[in-house]
C-alpha cells in the first residue's frame, strides 16, 4: 500500500467517523455566482447557486421533464386561452418565517420583467400577472402561449415583504453605486439557507429545517461549502487531495487521472449545449475571403461541401478524447423538435465535397478567416484548429483567429465575422428558442444571435407564428418544417454536443443534470 | 528639500494621469462587457440600452473624465461583474494580497541575504554551487509552473498543505487576516514560496556578487591584517556595505511582488486583488480594471518617491549637490 493510498484511507476513515449525522459537501467549480439577486444575472453558476436557496414555480427533473415545485398544478385557463393558471403549494415558508403566497409570485414575476432583469425576455409575452386568491396565480400573455411554463424554470420567487423591508424591490443595477441588499443576502423557500458568503471566495449554506420537501427529497447533505477554483489544474488537485468532494468541470485531459484514482468517480452525461460554425451567407461580398466581388458562402453547395469536409468523428476522438457526441443539427437531444435522423452526423465525404466545390465554381477553393473563442467552450480553439486542417483538404485555406470570449462574441453581434464558432444551450427545451435567436432574421426583437445574415421572411413569419400555436401536434409539425429548411439550407455547420464531466468522491450519489446545474437536495451521501 | 518633494509629487500626479489615459484607451481592445452582463436571451434593444446607460458609447476620453471625476470623490464606480461598489471590493480583497506579499517579501529578503552571504563566503563549496544551480531554476521557471509543481508535491502526493484558498481567516475590524489560525498559516506557505522565489534568487545573486566585490576591497584586506575575526569582517564590515544597492532593488521588487501576485493568486485561488483583476479582464469589468491599474500605479509612484527620498537621506553627496545648486 503506497503512502498515498494510506493517507486516503486514513482521511476516509476520519470522514466516516465524523460524518454520521452531519454531511458536508465541499463543492468547487471554476466560477462563482456573480450575485445572489435572483433576477440580475442569467448565467450558469449564478442560477446553480440560486437553485439551492430559492425555488421556482416549476422545475425540471433529471430527465428534463417539468415537475411541480412551488406550483402544484398548472393549466391554461378554460375561459381565456391567453391565461395560464398556477395553483400554489400551501404551507410553504421563507427562511425568515414569512408565508409564501400569490402576492410573492406576482411581485417576483413583475420584478423579473423590469428592464434591469436578465430574465425579462423569457417573460416578454407576459401582459399581466394576477393573484385572484391567496394560492392561485394567473399569467396573461399577449396571445396564447403554449410553452409558457417552460420559461419559468429559472424564475426564482422572492418574498415581497422581505424585499420591501430591505430596499431590494429593484433589481441590482450598475449606476447607483450602492450595494443592493439582495446581491449579498437571500431569503428563499429552498432546501438550503445562506449562512455566509464572501464573493469569489466561499459560500456556506445549511439545510433548511422547515423545508416543505423534507420528506420528498433525500436532503442528505446538511451543509454545503462552495468554493470557486478558477485554475483547472488546481481544481483537480483539490479533488485529488481530498480538499473538495465534488467538482463540476473536470478538464478532459484529467478525466482518466481522476477516474483512475481510488475513492473518486467521474460521472458523465450529455450537456444541453451544441457547438457549431456559422457562416456569412447574406452579404454580397466578404471582407475576409480571397474571392473578389462574390460571396462563396452564399452558395448552398459551398456550405454543404464545408460540412462534408468536417470529420466529426476525428474531432470527437482526437480533440475531445471521446467526450462529445457528433452532431448533425444545432439542437441538443432533449429539445422538442430534435430529430434523430437529422442529428445523425453527416459522414465525411471529401470527394463529394470537392465535387460540390467544383460545381459551385470553386475547384481551387478560396481563403477565409475563422473567428473562434479560446476560453468559452471545451477545447474550442483546438476544434477550430482541427477544422482548419479538414477544410484545407477541399482547398479552403482558413486563417484561424482565436480570441477570448469578450472579444469574440462582439464580432458575431456586430456582424464583423464571416465564419465563426458558437455554442448554444436551450433552457426552454423547445426548438422555438433556437429559431428565435439563431434562425430568424436579425432584428430588434428576434435573431439577436444570428450572425449568418440569413433572411427568409416566409420562415420568419412561421417562426413568429409558433409562439401562439396552441394545437401542439400542428405546432410540432411546423417545427419539423422549419428544421427541414435549416438543414436543407445548411444554415450552420454542426460539430458536436458537449458532454458534462462531474468529478466526485465515490460516496456522493447524484445524476448529472444536462443544465450543469446540480440540485444538492437530490444528492445522496454514502 | 521641500521644493524637491513638491516637484516629485507633481511629476507623480502627471504619471498617474497618463497611466489612466493609456489604460482607458486600451480597454476597448480587451473586449465588450455587454455580453457578459446580459443573458443569452438579450435583444439588440437591450444591448443598445445598456451601452448608453454605462456610457460605453462615449469616446474613451469622456469615459476617462467621468472615471476621474468619480475617483477624486473616492467613488470608483460599480463592478460590472459583481454589481457592487469597486471600493468595497478592493477593501475586502487588499488584506489577502498584502499579507501574501508581506510574507513572500520577508522570505525573499531573509533567505536571499542569508544564502547570498553564504554562497559568497563559501564560494568554492559544494553546497554553494548546488544553491547557485538551483537558483537558476528559480529564475528561469515561470511562476505558474512552480506553483503547480508545489501543489502536486505538497498537496496531492504528500497531502501536507492545502492546494487553494486562504484557510480560516479572522476579521480584525475590516481587515481579514490569515495569520491567526493554523489553517491560515498553512495556506500561506505554498503561495508565499511561489511568489517570493524569483525575488529571493534575485536578491541572493545580487548580495553574492556585491559581497564578492566588497571582500576584495582594500578596507577588508586591512581589516584582515588587523587580525579581526572572519565573523566581524563578513557581517560587520562587508555585509553592511553591500546593502545599499540591495535596499534599492528590494524596494522596487516589493512593488512587483504586489503587482505580479496576479499569477500566483490565480494558481492558488488566493482571494486577493490579483485574482480580482484577472476576473475583471475576462469579464471586461472596466471599473475594476481602471481602479486596480490606478492603485498599482499609485503604489509604484509612491515607492519610487520613497526610494528617491531615502537616497537623499542616505547619501550625503546628493544633499551637498542640492545645496550647491
- For A353-407, give the secondary structure using H, E and C: HHHHHHHCCCCCCCEEEEEEECCCCCCHHHHHHHHHHHHHCCCCEEEEEEECHHH
Read off φ and ψ for residue A410, nearest 5 degrees: -60, -30
Cα distance between residue B323 and residue B309, in whole Å? 15
| Measured distance CA(A166)–CA(A161) in Å, rounded | 9
Q: Which residues contact B201 (CB under 8 A, 6 or more apart)?
A: B112, B135, B136, B138, B139
What pLDDT is recorded for position A384? Answer: 96
Q: What is the mean pLDDT of chain A?
A: 89
Residue A212 has pLDDT above 90, yes or no: yes
- Whether the CB-CB separation of B48 and A146 falls below 8 Å is answered with no
Q: What is the CATH number of domain A271-499?
A: 3.10.105.10
- Contact call for B40 and A425, based on CB within 8 A: yes
Is the pLDDT score of A223 beyond 70? Answer: yes
Joined together, the cell numbers standing for residue A184 give 449579498
ipTM over 0.90: no
pLDDT at B275: 92
CATH architecture of residue range(s) B105-282: Orthogonal Bundle (1.10)
CA atoms within 13 A on the CB side of B261: 33
Residue B323 confidence (pLDDT): 55
Q: What is the DSSP string of B98-126?
A: HHHHHHHHHHHHHHHHHHHHHHHHTTTSH
Q: What is the dihedral of CA A55, A59, A62, A64, to 10 degrees?
A: -150
Please state the rounded mean pLDDT for residues A368-395.
93
Residues of A in contact with B80 (CB under 8 A): 174
Of A173, A200, A406, the CB nearest to B31: A406
How do the pLDDT tens digits run along chain B, 325 residues long?
678 788 888 888 898 899 889 888 888 788 888 888 887 888 888 888 888 888 888 888 898 998 888 888 888 888 888 888 898 899 989 999 999 999 998 999 899 989 988 898 888 888 888 888 888 887 888 888 899 999 999 999 998 999 998 888 888 888 888 888 888 999 999 999 999 988 888 889 888 888 888 888 888 888 888 888 888 888 777 787 787 778 777 777 878 888 778 999 999 999 999 999 998 988 889 899 999 998 888 888 888 888 777 777 766 666 655 555 4
**Which among A4, A40, A243 has CB closest to B83?**
A40
Name which of A233, A404, A448 is nearest B282 (Cβ-Cβ): A404
What is the arithmetic mean of pLDDT over A15-31?
72
Half-sphere exposure of B264 toward its Cβ, with a 13 Å CA cutoff? 29
Residue of B nearest to A413 (CA): B44
Helix (H) or strand (E) segment spanning residue A465: helix A457-466
C-alpha cell at A322: 471521446
- Ramachandran sector of residue B270 (left: φ over 0; alpha: ψ -120 to 50; beta: rest): beta
Amino acid A8: pLDDT: 47
CA angle B301, B305, B311 (to 5 degrees): 145
Q: What is the mean pLDDT of residues A45-65?
A: 90
Chain A partners of B159 at a C-beta cutoff of 8 Å?
Answer: 4, 7, 11, 241-242
Q: Which residues of B touch A176 (CB under 8 A)?
A: 78
- Is residue A342 within a helix (H) or strand (E), and if so which, with residue range? helix A340-343
In contact, A125 and A143? CB cutoff 8 Å? yes
- Using a pLDDT cut of 70, give the percent of chain A over it: 95
Report whether A84 contacts A74 (CB < 8 A).
Answer: yes
Q: Where in chain A is the domain with CATH 3.40.190.10?
A: 24-227
Q: Best residue in B161, B163, B283 to probe A by mutation, most A CBs within 10 Å?
A: B163
Best CA proximity match to A118, nearest among B39, B49, B81:
B39
CB–CB contact B41 A437 (8 Å)? yes
3-state helix, strand, coil in chain B (%, to 5): 75, 0, 20
Beta-carbon separation of B271 and A172 below 8 A:
no
Residue A315 has pLDDT above 50, yes or no: yes
> Residue A444: which of B43, B53, B89 has the nearest Cβ?
B43
Can you give the pLDDT at residue B308? 77
**Nearest CA-CA partner of B285 in B34, B18, B17:** B34
Domain with CATH 3.10.105.10 in chain A: 271-499
Rounded distance, CA A106 to CA A146, Å?
20
Residue B40 has phi, psi (to 5 degrees) of -60, -25
Most B-contacting residue of A27, A34, A185 (CB-CB within 10 A), to test interface: A34
Residue A175 is predicted with a pLDDT of 62
User: Is the pLDDT score of A5 beyond 60?
Assistant: no
Cβ separation A410–B35 shorter than 8 A? yes
Closest chain A residue to B96 measured between Cα atoms? Answer: A201
* pLDDT for A492 beyond 90: yes
Question: Which pLDDT belongs to residue B216?
Answer: 84
**Structure confidence at residue A19 (pLDDT):** 41
pLDDT tens by residue, A248-304: 989 888 998 899 999 999 998 888 999 999 999 988 888 888 888 889 999 999 999
- Residue A32, helix vs strand vs coil: coil
Lowest mean pLDDT among A122-136, A216-230, B235-249: B235-249
Q: What is the distance between the alpha carbons of residues A75 and A85, in angstroms, rounded to a whole number?
A: 6
pLDDT at A165 over 80: yes
Residues 6+ positions from A377 with CB-CB distance below 8 Å: A273, A275, A383, A421, A423, A498
Q: Please tell me which residue of chain A has the smallest CA distance to B176.
A: A198
How far off is chain A from B163, nearest CA to CA, in Å? 6
B6 or A397, which is more confident: A397
Q: Is A30 helix (H, G, I), strand (E, B) or coil?
A: coil
Verify whether the Cβ–Cβ distance B164 to A199 is below 8 Å: no
The H or E element spanning position B224 is helix B218-225
pLDDT of residue A178: 64
Q: How far apart are the first and last CA of chain A?
A: 24
Q: Which of residues 112-171 of A touch B (CB under 8 A)?
A: 115, 118-119, 121-122
Chain A from 223 to 252: CB within 8 A of any B CB: 227-231, 233-235, 237-238, 240-243
Ordered by start, the domain boundaries in chain B are 1-81+284-325, 105-282
A383 has pLDDT over 90: yes
Would you say the pTM of this structure is higher than 0.90? no
| CATH top class, domain A24-227 | alpha beta
Q: What is the pLDDT of residue A18?
A: 41
A3 has a pLDDT exceeding 50: no
pLDDT value, residue B297: 87
Instruction: Enumerate the β-bridge partners of residue B172.
Output: B175
Q: DSSP letter for A135, please.
A: T
Give the Cα separation of A96 and A35 in Å (integer): 20
Amino acid at each position: 500500500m503506497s503512502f498515498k493510498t494510506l493517507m486516503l484511507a486514513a482521511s476516509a476513515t476520519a470522514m466516516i467517523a465524523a460524518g454520521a449525522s452531519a454531511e458536508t459537501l465541499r463543492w468547487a467549480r471554476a466560477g462563482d455566482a456573480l450575485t445572489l439577486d435572483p433576477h440580475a444575472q442569467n448565467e450558469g453558476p449564478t442560477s446553480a447557486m440560486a437553485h439551492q436557496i430559492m425555488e421556482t414555480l416549476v422545475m425540471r427533473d433529471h430527465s428534463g421533464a417539468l415537475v411541480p415545485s412551488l406550483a402544484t398544478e398548472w393549466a391554461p385557463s378554460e375561459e381565456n386561452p391567453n391565461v395560464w393558471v398556477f395553483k400554489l403549494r400551501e404551507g410553504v415558508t421563507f427562511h425568515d418565517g414569512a408565508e409564501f403566497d400569490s402576492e410573492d409570485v406576482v411581485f417576483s414575476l413583475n420584478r423579473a420583467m423590469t428592464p434591469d432583469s436578465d430574465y425579462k425576455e423569457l417573460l416578454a409575452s407576459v401582459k399581466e400577472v394576477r393573484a385572484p386568491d391567496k394560492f392561485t396565480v394567473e399569467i396573461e400573455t399577449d396571445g396564447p402561449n403554449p410553452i409558457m411554463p417552460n420559461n419559468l424554470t429559472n424564475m426564482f420567487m422572492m418574498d415581497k415583504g422581505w424585499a420591501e423591508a430591505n430596499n431590494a424591490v429593484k433589481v441590482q443595477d450598475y449606476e447607483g453605486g450602492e450595494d443592493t441588499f439582495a446581491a449579498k443576502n437571500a431569503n428563499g423557500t429552498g432546501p438550503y439557507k445562506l449562512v455566509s458568503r464572501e464573493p469569489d471566495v466561499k459560500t456556506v449554506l445549511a439545510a433548511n429545517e422547515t423545508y416543505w420537501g423534507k420528506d420528498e427529497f433525500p436532503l442528505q447533505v446538511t451543509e454545503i461549502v462552495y468554493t470557486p477554483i478558477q485554475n483547472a489544474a488546481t481544481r483537480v488537485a483539490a479533488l485529488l487531495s481530498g480538499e473538495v468532494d465534488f467538482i463540476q468541470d473536470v478538464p478532459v485531459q484529467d478525466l482518466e487521472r481522476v477516474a483512475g484514482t481510488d475513492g473518486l468517480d467521474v460521472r458523465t452525461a450529455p450537456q444541453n449545449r451544441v457547438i457549431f460554425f456559422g457562416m456569412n451567407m447574406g452579404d454580397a461580398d466578404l471582407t475576409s475571403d480571397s474571392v473578389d466581388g462574390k460571396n462563396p458562402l452564399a452558395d448552398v453547395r459551398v456550405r454543404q461541401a464545408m460540412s462534408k469536409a468536417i470529420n466529426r468523428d476525428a474531432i470527437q476522438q482526437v480533440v475531445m478524447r471521446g467526450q462529445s457526441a457528433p452532431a448533425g443539427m444545432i439542437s441538443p437531444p432533449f429539445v422538442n423538435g430534435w430529430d434523430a435522423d437529422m442529428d445523425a452526423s453527416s459522414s465525411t465525404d471529401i470527394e463529394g465535397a470537392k465535387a460540390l466545390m467544383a460545381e459551385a465554381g470553386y475547384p481551387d477553393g478560396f481563403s477565409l478567416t475563422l473567428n473562434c473563442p479560446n476560453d468559452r467552450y471545451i477545447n474550442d480553439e483546438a476544434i477550430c484548429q482541427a477544422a482548419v486542417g479538414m477544410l484545407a483538404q477541399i482547398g479552403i485555406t482558413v486563417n484561424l483567429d482565436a480570441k477570448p470570449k469578450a472579444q469574440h462574441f462582439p464580432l458575431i453581434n456586430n456582424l464583423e465575422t464571416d465564419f465563426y464558432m458558437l455554442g448554444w444551450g436551450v433552457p426552454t427545451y423547445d426548438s422555438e428558442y433556437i429559431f428565435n435567436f439563431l434562425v430568424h432574421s436579425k432584428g430588434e426583437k428576434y435573431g439577436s444571435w444570428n450572425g449568418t445574415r440569413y433572411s427568409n421572411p416566409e420562415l420568419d413569419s412561421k417562426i413568429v407564428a409558433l409562439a401562439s400555436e396552441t394545437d401542439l401536434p400542428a405546432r410540432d409539425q411546423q417545427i419539423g418544417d422549419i428544421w427541414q429548411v435549416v438543414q436543407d439550407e445548411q444554415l450552420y455547420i454542426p460539430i458536436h454536443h458537449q458532454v458534462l464531466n462531474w468529478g466526485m468522491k465515490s460516496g456522493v450519489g447524484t445524476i448529472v443534470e444536462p443544465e450543469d446545474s446540480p440540485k444538492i437536495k437530490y444528492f445522496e451521501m454514502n | 528639500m521641500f521644493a524637491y518633494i513638491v516637484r516629485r509629487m507633481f511629476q507623480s500626479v502627471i504619471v498617474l494621469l497618463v497611466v489612466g489615459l493609456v489604460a482607458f484607451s486600451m480597454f476597448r481592445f480587451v473586449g465588450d462587457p455587454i455580453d457578459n452582463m446580459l443573458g443569452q436571451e438579450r435583444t439588440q434593444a437591450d444591448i443598445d440600452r445598456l451601452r448608453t446607460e454605462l456610457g460605453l458609447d462615449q469616446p474613451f476620453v469622456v469615459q476617462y473624465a467621468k472615471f476621474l471625476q468619480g475617483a477624486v470623490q473616492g467613488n470608483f464606480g460599480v463592478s460590472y461583474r459583481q454589481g457592487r461598489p469597486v471600493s468595497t471590493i478592493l477593501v475586502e480583497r487588499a488584506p489577502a494580497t498584502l499579507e501574501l506579499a508581506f510574507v513572500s517579501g520577508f522570505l525573499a529578503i531573509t533567505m536571499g541575504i542569508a544564502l547570498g552571504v553564504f554562497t559568497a563566503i563559501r564560494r568554492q563549496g559544494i553546497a554553494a554551487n548546488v544553491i547557485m544551480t538551483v537558483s537558476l531554476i528559480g529564475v528561469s521557471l515561470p511562476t505558474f509552473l512552480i506553483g503547480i509543481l508545489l501543489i502536486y508535491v505538497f498537496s496531492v502526493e504528500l497531502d501536507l498543505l492545502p492546494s487553494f484558498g486562504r484557510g480560516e481567516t479572522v476579521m480584525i475590524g475590516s481587515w481579514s487576516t490569515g495569520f491567526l489560525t493554523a489553517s491560515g498559516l498553512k495556506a500561506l506557505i505554498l503561495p508565499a514560496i511561489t511568489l517570493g522565489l524569483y525575488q529571493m534568487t534575485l536578491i541572493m545573486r545580487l548580495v553574492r556578487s556585491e559581497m564578492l566585490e566588497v571582500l576584495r576591497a582594500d578596507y577588508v584586506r586591512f581589516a584582515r591584517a588587523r587580525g579581526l575575526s572572519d565573523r566581524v569582517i563578513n557581517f560587520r564590515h562587508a555585509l553592511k556595505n553591500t546593502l545599499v544597492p540591495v535596499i534599492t532593488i528590494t524596494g522596487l521588487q516589493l512593488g512587483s511582488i504586489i503587482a505580479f501576485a496576479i499569477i500566483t493568486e490565480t494558481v492558488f485561488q488566493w482571494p486577493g486583488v490579483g485574482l480580482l483583476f484577472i476576473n475583471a479582464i475576462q469579464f471586461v469589468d472596466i471599473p475594476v480594471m481602471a481602479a486596480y491599474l490606478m492603485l498599482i500605479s499609485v503604489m509604484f509612484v509612491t515607492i519610487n518617491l520613497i526610494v528617491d527620498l531615502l537616497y537623499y537621506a542616505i547619501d550625503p553627496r546628493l544633499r551637498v549637490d542640492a545645496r550647491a545648486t
